[in-house]
Amino acid sequence: MDKTAVLDLSEALNRADGDRDLFLTLAGLFLQESSKEIASARAALEQQDHAGLAAAAHKLKGSVMEMCAPRLFESTKRLEELGRQGELTKAWPVCADVETRLVEVHAVLRELIAGGFPS
């Protein structure tokens, strides 16, 4: 697996001005918030609420950007677009893809939080 496609740690640290403590703080926050945000997106999808889906995906996209997770970002961006366009049928598989990629990112972040940065 291309690890930088899941989470570009170098870029993410650069975005945090090289501050590892800040990055870990953001990572912990991301673990909490992104779980809530993807749950909101799925709930909106189940309720056929395309505006709610777009809003939840947009919010998730903002936090993903901070983590520098390129594949997750692209999926989330696509989900927001479909929600905005009202293409809910097409949104189902994209939402599933976002959930899968989010699990990948969470795993990397948990590893970093627990084990520290690779030397």
Partner 1 sequence: MNSHATPRIGQVSGSPAGPETAIATILLIEDEPVARTSMAARLMRLGYRILQAENGRVGLDLARRTRPDLLIVDWMMPVMDGLTFCEAVRRDPLLKSSQILLMTAHDTPAQIAEGLVRGADDFLSKSASKQEIIARVLAGLRTSRLVRKLETTGDELKSSMVLLEKKQAETEADLQTAAAFVRSLLPSQGSPIHGVTLAWEYQPSLTLGGDLFDVMVIDADHLGLYILDASGHGVAAALRSASLMTFLRVENILQMLGSYDPEKVLFEANRRFPLSADGDYFTLWVGELHLPTLSLSYASAGHSGTLLSSAQGPSRWLTHASFPLGFDPSAQFTRDHVSLKPADRLFLLSDGIYEAPSPSSELWGRGRFQEVIDAGKQTSLSATIASCFSVARGWQQAQHFPDDAAVVGIELTECQEGGFNG
Q: Which two tokens stand for residue 74?
A: 């692209």
What is each CA distance from 116 to 43, 64, 87, 98, 112, in whole angstroms?
34, 20, 41, 26, 5
- Applying CB under 8 A, among 45, 67, 69, 91 the residue interacting with partner 1 is 67
Contact flag: residue 51 with partner 1 (CB under 8 A): no
Contact flag: residue 106 with partner 1 (CB under 8 A): no
Contact flag: residue 96 with partner 1 (CB under 8 A): no
Which of these segments, 11-19, 43-51, 85-93, 94-102, binds partner 1 (CB under 8 A)? Answer: 11-19
Cα(6)–Cα(26) distance, integer angstroms: 16
Which of these segments, 42-50, 52-60, 87-95, 96-104, binds partner 1 (CB under 8 A)? Answer: 52-60
* Crossing angle of helices 20-46 and 88-115, rounded to 10°: 150
Cα-Cα-Cα-Cα dihedral sign, residues 41, 44, 46, 50: negative
Contact flag: residue 29 with partner 1 (CB under 8 A): yes
Contact flag: residue 105 with partner 1 (CB under 8 A): no
Binding positions for partner 1, rule: CB under 8 A: 15-17, 19, 21-22, 24-26, 28-30, 33-34, 55, 58-59, 62-63, 65-67
